[in-house]
């Protein structure tokens, strides 16, 4: 009966995983529109060829990542970079147009000087000055837009550097990317058999986890306890909850406040291996720690233990 249940659960997990694949990415849609707008500008190839080439390259990478169903964060970041390159390109075009208008204003001024002899000098001079002032205003606006785009590009680079650092830290914790987000799995060897008291050997793992959370103060975690199928459902659920709380207490003892650590007791409901063998049961007796992103937000499937 449990074999049938496990098979059904695996099938349901596959269907849910397929259904959860995003059909669109808003950042990618926006980047497409920005790159298209830049491509259609007549001055793009003259004034912003490098930015256009970079924007197209980043967009192509984002499109590829989206088609390959890579993590949403990767697609969003690549699309964001494409959009920033497109913005810088638009700023350069605006600057070029403004300079052309300055040149046209200067030409108008020269014409006015000739019109002095016809008695229309004063009016024409005023018109030329107004045109030049407008051109200078547009130049300043273009320079400001360019500076803003450069700031956005720098922010994106800083964000990527921060994301890379966090990824390295999570890799050191042996966390893995799943549909639930980054997940760190602790085996049952950290606890006495049938108990929820952490062994001294668990100190190193929790020291590293607490240090990561101190370095990333907005990061939150969900701690889930899981058991094998031996024992009653009620007993296994209670044991798994106590083990999850033991992890929460271990982090609290290391300075991580409880509002950053949620606990769940999943009992025997979500095995990762068959309970028919000792090896399989050992894999099922585990604690899973699901990480939020650096801003404290969890992945859409973080609360669904059936996802892998």
Per-residue pLDDT, 151:
65
Spell out, as residue ranges, where the chain has pLDDT lower than 70.
1-22, 116, 151, 155-159, 161-164
The CATH code of the domain at 173-291 is 3.30.1330.60
Question: Which residues of the chain does CATH 3.30.1330.60 include?
Answer: 173-291
Tens-place pLDDT, residues 242-278: 999 999 999 999 999 999 999 999 999 999 999 999 9
Own/partner pairs, 92-96, CB within 8 angstroms, 24+ separation: 92/47, 92/48, 92/51, 92/146, 93/38, 93/41, 93/43, 93/44, 93/47, 93/48, 94/138, 94/141, 94/142, 94/145, 95/47, 95/139, 95/142, 95/143, 95/146, 96/43, 96/46, 96/47
Tens-place pLDDT, residues 178-198: 999 999 999 877 887 788 999
Per-residue pLDDT, 117:
79
Quote the pTM value.
0.51
């Amino acid at each position: 009966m449990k074999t049938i249940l496990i098979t059904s659960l695996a099938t349901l997990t596959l269907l849910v995983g397929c259904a959860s694949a995003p059909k669109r990415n808003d950042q990618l849609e926006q980047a497409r529109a920005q790159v298209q707008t830049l491509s259609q500008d007549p001055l793009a190839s003259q004034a912003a060829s490098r930015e256009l080439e970079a924007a197209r390259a980043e967009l192509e990478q984002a499109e590829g990542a989206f088609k390959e169903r890579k993590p949403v964060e990767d697609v969003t970041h690549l699309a964001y970079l494409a959009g920033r390159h497109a913005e810088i390109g638009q700023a350069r075009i605006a600057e070029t147009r403004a300079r052309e208008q300055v040149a046209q204003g200067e030409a108008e001024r020269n014409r006015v000087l000739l019109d002095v002899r016809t008695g229309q000098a004063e009016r024409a001079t005023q018109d030329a000055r107004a045109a030049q002032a407008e051109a200078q205003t547009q130049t300043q606006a273009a320079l400001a837009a360019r500076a803003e785009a450069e700031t956005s590009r720098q922010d994106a680079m800083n964000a990527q550097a921060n994301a890379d650092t966090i990824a390295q830290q999570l890799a050191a914790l042996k966390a893995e990317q799943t549909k639930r987000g980054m997940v760190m799995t602790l085996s049952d060897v950290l606890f006495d058999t049938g108990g929820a008291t952490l062994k001294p050997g668990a100190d190193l793992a929790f020291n590293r986890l607490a240090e990561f959370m101190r370095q990333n103060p907005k990061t939150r975690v969900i701690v889930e306890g899981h058991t094998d199928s031996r024992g009653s459902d009620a007993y296994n659920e209670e044991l798994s909850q106590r083990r999850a709380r033991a992890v929460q207490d271990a982090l609290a003892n290391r300075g991580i406040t409880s509002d950053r650590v949620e606990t769940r007791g999943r009992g025997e409901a979500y095995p990762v291996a068959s309970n028919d063998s000792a090896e399989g049961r050992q894999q099922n007796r585990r604690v899973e720690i699901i990480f939020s992103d650096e801003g404290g937000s969890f992945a859409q499937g973080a609360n669904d233990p059936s996802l892998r």
